Structure formats: C-alpha cells, structure tokens
Amino acid sequence: MSKEITARSEDYSQWYNDLVLKGGLADYSAVRGCMVIKPHGFALWENMRDVLDKMFKDTGHQNAYFPLFIPKSFLSKEAAHVEGFAKECAVVTHYRLKNDPNGGGVVVDPEAKLEEELIVRPTSETIIWNTYKDWIQSYRDLPLLINQWANVVRWEMRTRLFLRTAEFLWQEGHTAHATAEEAIAETRQMLDIYAEFAEKYMALPVIKGVKSASERFAGAEDTYCIEALMQDGKALQAGTSHFLGQNFAKAFEVKFSNKENKQEYVWATSWGVSTRLVGALVMAHSDDQGLILPPRISPLQVVIVPIFKGDDQKKLIDDKVNEIIKELKAAGIRVKYDDSDNARPGWKFAEYEMKGVPVRIALGARDLENNVAEVARRDEKTKSSLSLDGLSGQIVQLLEDIQQNMYNKALAYRESHITPVNTWEEFEKVLDEKGGFVAAHWDGTPETEAAIKERTKATIRCIPLNNVQEAGTCILSGKPSKERVLFARAY
C-alpha cells in the first residue's frame, strides 16, 4: 500500500480520508456506514476518554450503563425527540434466525417476531428517564449525576469516517435536578469542561455558544455547544450540552417531593461528545505528510530510531537507548524504541510522521560519541541536536512546547477566520472565498435562517456566550437585529 497521501490543496476531503486510513486510525467495514476503529485510532480515543472521564468524576458524576435497546413506544413519548430520531434508526423486529427450508442458508424466523419493535439507541434520554422514575422520589435523591460511555446508532445516509458514521462511540451525561437554575448551571459546567478539554488536551480552540432554535437537540429547551474551525474553513460542532427543562420528566412522569413535601417535575440536562472528536483532531492539525497529534493525548509521544552499521554499533546504541527509555518513562513519557530490522530508518521516519508521533529521536554511533541525539519535532518539522545529559527534562519541555504551539497555530488560524460582514454580498463573498466563521446580523427568525441555509449551505453555528450586544440589520431580511451570530458551512 502506498503511503502517499493527497495534498490538502488538491482535494481536502480525500486528504482527510487518506490520513485516517493510512495513519492507521480507522478502516471501512462491510457494514454500510459503520467503521472499524484501528488500534492507533482506538488508543487515541482511549486517551481522550480517560481525560474526560476523570474530569466528569472530579465534578461528582458516576458512570452507569443502560440498555442498548429502546422500546419503540418510549421514543414516542417526547414529541420533538421522536421527530428528531425516528427517521434514521435501526429497528430490531425479530429475535431468531432459522434454516431456510429452501436451502438458502439462514433466514429470519417469522415466528420470532417481537411484540414491540426495539430501536437501537440513537441517544438514551428515553430509556434513562424511564429508569429515573424508579430512582427519584425525594429531593434527597437529587441531584442525580450520571454518565454513560456507549455506542449509539443513527442511520445517516451520507457517512464519513469518524465525522458521521451510522454507529459511533460516545459518552452521554444525563442529570436530574430539583431546580431549573441548578440544571442550567450543570449544562454550563459541562460545556466549560468540554471547552477546557478541547483547548488543553486537543489543542483545539473552540467558541462556546448557544444554538438557534432550529439547531437545538430534539427535546431540549436550549442547546449549548462548542464550535471548532477546520483547516478548510469549515466549522465542526465538537460537543453539545443540553438544558432539557422538564420535557423528559413530564414525558416519563418523573416527580420528586420537595422540602415542602410537594410533588414537582424534575429538571434535566444531557451532554455528549463522540468519536467525531477524533475527526476534528485530524482535520484541525495535520499536514500533507500525515497526522500531527497533540502530545497530551497522543498514544505515543516519542519514538526512538537507531541508525547503525553492524552489531557492535547496534549494541552500543541499544545500551544507551535503554537508559534513555528508563529516564523518559520515569518522567511519564509514552515512548517506543523501534529497532525492528525489516525497515530502513528513512522508511520508519516517514511511518511515524504519518502516524503523528510528536517527537522522533534518531541516535547513531557518531551521536553517541558526541553525547547528543537528533531530535525532530513533528509539528514544525525542525530538527535539533540535544545533549544526552538531562535529555528527559528537555523532552518534557519540548512536548509542552509542541502542545502549546499546536494550540497557538490553530488559534491564529481561527482568529483570522472570524469575519464580521454587514451586507449579503459580503456574506456570500466571505463564505466562498475565505470560509471560516462569518459574524453577521440575523433577524432571529427560523425562516430567515432556513433561507440563508438554502442559498449558501451556511448555518448558524452558535450565538456566542457573552456576545456583544450591538444593534444592526439582518443581512438577508434587513430587519432589525440586536447582536451578531456566527454563520459557517460546517461538517
């Protein structure tokens, strides 16, 4: 298999697919719209999951696990919810196969038809709130702060590796509160956690905002989101946190007795991020040579490649590398020594570049004599010669530099791609020629929003939190507006 990848400038979409496939993150599967997450991609997801999981637990959340299947009638209990998910769900109708009496292998056994069809969960609000009914009686049972790591299925018609797949992995938090204020505070807290995770760990700057009514989660009162910008100027929703009001409590009759011993409906939130984040990571940072992964979540942070002729040199290098590895591991660094003899150093360099390993150390016989190593950083593709004395300290610093540099670079790109416009002509021109977020006045109606989407494929990504209030006129309708919102074409 050729390791050549398409250049971004040539075909951004193909570049992305090449990276995911050749960088060893994922593969297509035999099941329409479902992907195989390969070891390198899964290790990356595990690192992301572990950081998030700790952040959730540190804020008092506990993990639990709810059924994969949702009875069809549950989905229907919240009107907006079923409207949002019924059109793209996998439906289990039977529970047995049997041998084909006509000899055609196995067929569905018509006698094993379920009384009520089961939906493979597209999200778990309904099955969870049906359970919360039994768990919540009194204000003493609140807040209930639960998270679930799970697979979900949405039968998307147009799929893309990581970004939009029929099955994906995610976490979904589902919390229950005694008051609206508490639930809103939880919604905002989780949004802040997502933003902190994206910025500190993924090196991905995000804008925190709230969705317009048309872009809300099906069943939510308000959907908060973090929006990131990819290198082609398209936006990507990287996480959402929903204030669900009392909608699900009402649909599933979940009431609690308050301190005054009166029955009230419970207030809810839900929030989630998914394997889509892996796609965002790839698109935001990588280049035409392969992946560039942020050190804090990269499965491998440092790879060491020996350069040698003959066994004697190899032996000397091995001894030194063993020392270095010990030192790096003691500093908490994820390091690998690749001394396999089935590839030349140049091939290995290209391979680890493709896989996005942040730091590569090459060590040859002459380096040993000079007590140095050649250290290459993936993000800038610069090399330097570092002393072997106190190498681990220098590498720790270098990894921090790379993390910071990746964030700064992405931030600079994002900042230069938020463009305020005041007319429809400007709006279209910026979208077509420059991309990125376009900050424009909008009259606040779903009709205008839909018309803009229809004409340009741009959607309102969010109304930024703490937005500046500024009077203006809608770019399309000319009606009055009190603040700008961010439009973009998006993944």
Binding residues for its own copies (CB under 8 A): 27, 29-31, 34-39, 42-43, 46, 62-76, 82, 86-99, 105-106, 108, 117-120, 127, 130-131, 134, 140, 146, 150-151, 153, 155, 167, 169, 342
Neighbours of 443 (CB within 10 A): 16
Nearer residue to its own copies within complex by CB, 162 or 407: 162
CB of 79 to its own copies, least distance (A): 10
Alpha-carbon distances, residue 183 vs 110, 268, 456 (angstroms): 46, 6, 36
In the complex, the smallest distance separating the C-beta of residue 106 from its own copies, rounded to whole angstroms, is 5
Tokens of 162: 């990581």
Q: Residues 119, 34: contact at Cβ < 8 Å? A: no
Quote the least distance from Cβ 426 to its own copies, whole Å.
41
Tokens of 124: 């778990």
Query: Least distance in Å: CB of 10 to its own copies?
Result: 26
CA–CA gap between residue 5 and residue 12 (Å, rounded): 11
Dist CA 269 CA 177 (whole Å): 8
Name the 3-class secondary structure at 122.
Answer: coil
Q: Which is nearer to its own copies, 95 or 347 (CB)?
A: 95
Closer by beta carbon to its own copies, 230 or else 293: 293
69 or 424: whose CB is closer to its own copies?
69
Place of tokens 């035409």: 288
Residue 142 C-beta: closest distance to its own copies, Å: 13
CA distance 85 to 76: 10
Of 71 and 435, which has the nearer Cβ to its own copies?
71
Give the pairing type, strands 359-364 and 302-307: parallel
Distance of CA 79 to the CA centre of its chain: 28
Residue in this structure with the two tokens 């949702």, named with its chain if needed: 70
Which residue number, 299 or 358, has a Cβ lying nearer to its own copies? Answer: 299
CB of 85 to its own copies, least distance (A): 9
Residue 231 and residue 286: Cα distance in Å, rounded?
Answer: 9
210 beta partners: 224, 463
Rounded Cα distance between 247 and 245, Å, is: 6
Q: Which is nearer to its own copies, 243 or 248 (CB)?
A: 248
Smallest gap from Cβ 480 to its own copies, in A, equals 38
Residue with smaller CB distance to its own copies, 135 or 322: 135
Least Cβ distance, residue 23 to its own copies (angstroms)? 14
For residue 374, give the nearest of 475, 304, 325, 275 by alpha carbon. 304
Comparison of 26 and 362: residue with beta carbon closer to its own copies: 26
Distance of alpha carbon 281 from alpha carbon 26, whole angstroms = 14
Q: Shortest gap between Cβ of 162 and its own copies (angstroms)? A: 12
Going by C-alpha positions, the residue among 197, 219, 174, 141 that lies closest to residue 65 is: 174
